[in-house]
Structure 1
Amino acid sequence: MSNPFETINERLSNIENLLLEIKNKPVEEEKSENLTVKETAEILKVSEQSVHNYIKRGFLSAQKVGRILLIKRQDLENALAEVKSLKYKRA
C-alpha cells in the first residue's frame, strides 16, 4: 500500500502545473475587426453623437455599409495613439 501523503502531493503537483499553464496562457478576447458606432461610443465612454461628430471632423474614419457606419478597430486604436502623442508633445 502506498503512502497517502505521496498520492496527495502528486495530485497537488498536478493541480499546480495546470494552474501555472492557465496563468501563463495568453488570453485572447474575441475582438471583432469592425465596430459599430454604439460599440465605439462604449469603448470611448462618449455618446454616439460624439462618435458621429468625430467621424464628420475626420478624427475617425468609418465605412458605410448600408445604413450602418463601421469603424475598424485598428483605426480607432491608431486615432487614440495619435491623440495621446499630441497630448504630450511639447510646443
Structure 2
Amino acid sequence: LLKAGLTPAAVQAGGLEAALNLATAGELRLADAAEIMSTALNAFKDDGMTAAQASNILAGTANASATDVMDLKYSLSMVSAVASGLGLSFR
C-alpha cells in the first residue's frame, strides 16, 4: 500500500483492512487488491475518498454487474487519468 502511494496514516486509518476486504470480496491476492484500490485513490484524489470507500465502490460495482474486480483494474488503468482530468468523480 505504501509503495502504491498511500500514506502511512491512510494505511493505519483502515487502508490495510479495506484492501483485505476487497481481496476477499473479489477473490484476489492482497497485492492485486491493494494495487486496484490505490489506483482509484490516486487517480481520484479530489474526491477525498478513504480506502474503505474506494474498496466498497469497487466491490459493489463488481457485485452489481457482469464484471469482476480484476476487470475493473484494467478499466481503471485505461480511463482513470482521463476521467479524473475531466473532473469526473469516482463516486
Taking structure 1 as the reference length, the TM-score comes to: 0.33
**Structure 1 or 2: more helix by fraction:** 2
**Structure 1 or 2: more strand by fraction:** 1
Taking structure 2 as the reference length, the TM-score comes to: 0.33
Which structure: larger Rg? Answer: 1
Which fold has the larger relative contact order, with Cα–Cα distance below 8 Å and residues 6 or more apart in sequence? Answer: 2
